[in-house]
């Protein structure tokens, strides 16, 4: 009788320890899941804001052009728009894709069960990586055009234009900043998803 009682108490202790460990893992998954959703909403807002700020970027001004040295300068109307540059078009499309994907991923994760399927989690991780590459590449392309607009290039005889269309350049810089933060948020999402997959496979010890 005494040995049976001891055996039951040992089994109960093991079961309680297992339950506590499972609850601890479940709580950690809930924290990661909430953090993941927060980051995704932030990425949607940032990428959407970057696209809207750049889409509304336009400036009309006049530039004094000297045609003949002996004659006075002629004022020529100039309009700056974002779609005049292929790099800015790529930037706009990239942020629109990231915004749409972020909204879809929020819906998928919200409507999914508490326990995501490994295939779905892996697919989301792959798409998150694609968004990181897409946003960083568009940011780099637009940043290169922006630096030339600010500083020019004496070797290629490209003159800076931001001294003429300053408002356009400042608004474009704000869009670049928003997109850069969105890129970092998607990168954090990748790390968060990897951590979540690690806990799912019991790699992260409680």
Chain segment 119-140, per-residue pLDDT in tens: 888 889 999 999 999 999 999 9
Cβ atoms within 10 Å of 188's Cβ, excluding its own: 17
Query: In this predicted structure, what is the pLDDT of residue 10?
Result: 47
CA distances from 106 to 9, 93, 144 (A): 45, 20, 32
Domain-embedded: residue 205: no
* In contact, 105 and 40? CB cutoff 8 Å: yes
Overall number of domains in the chain: 1
Judge whether residue 77 has pLDDT over 80: yes
Parent domain of 90: 2-200
Domain-embedded: residue 149: yes
Cβ atoms within 10 Å of 163's Cβ, excluding its own: 11
Domain-embedded: residue 17: yes
Residue 76 DSSP class: E
The length of the chain in residues reads 206
- Reported as type and span, the H/E element at residue 60 is strand 58-65
Domain-embedded: residue 187: yes
Domain-embedded: residue 195: yes
The pLDDT confidence band at residue 22, using thresholds 50, 70 and 90, is low
| Residue 114 vs residue 192, higher pLDDT | 192
Q: What are phi and psi of 141, to 5 degrees?
A: -65, -45
Domain-embedded: residue 43: yes
- How far apart are the C-alpha atoms of 102 and 104, rounded to whole Å? 5
The pLDDT confidence band at residue 195, using thresholds 50, 70 and 90, is confident
Domain-embedded: residue 206: no
Query: In this predicted structure, what is the pLDDT of residue 203?
Result: 46
Query: In this predicted structure, what is the pLDDT of residue 46?
Result: 96
Query: In this predicted structure, what is the pLDDT of residue 205?
Result: 43
| Residue 147 vs residue 63, higher pLDDT | 147
* pLDDT tens digits, one per residue of 87-105: 999 999 999 999 999 999 9
């Amino acid at each position: 009788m005494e040995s049976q009682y001891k055996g039951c108490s040992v089994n109960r202790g093991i079961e309680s320890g297992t339950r506590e460990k499972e609850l601890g893992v479940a709580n950690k998954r809930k924290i990661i899941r909430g953090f993941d959703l927060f980051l995704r909403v932030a990425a949607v807002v940032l990428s959407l804001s970057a696209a809207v700020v750049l889409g509304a970027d336009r400036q009309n001004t006049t530039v004094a052009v000297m045609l003949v040295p002996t004659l006075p300068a002629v004022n020529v109307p100039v309009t700056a728009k974002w779609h005049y540059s292929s790099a800015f078009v790529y930037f706009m499309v990239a942020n629109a894709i990231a915004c749409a994907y972020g909204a879809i991923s929020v819906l998928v994760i919200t409507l999914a069960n508490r326990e995501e399927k490994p295939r779905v989690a892996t697919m989301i991780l792959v798409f998150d990586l694609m968004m990181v590459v897409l946003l960083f590449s568009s940011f780099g392309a637009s940043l290169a055009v922006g630096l030339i607009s600010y500083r020019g290039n004496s070797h290629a005889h490209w003159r800076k234009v931001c001294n003429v269309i300053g408002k356009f350049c400042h608004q474009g810089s704000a869009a670049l900043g928003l997109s850069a933060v969105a890129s970092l948020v998607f990168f954090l999402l990748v790390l968060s998803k990897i951590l979540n997959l690690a806990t799912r496979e019991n790699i992260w010890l409680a």
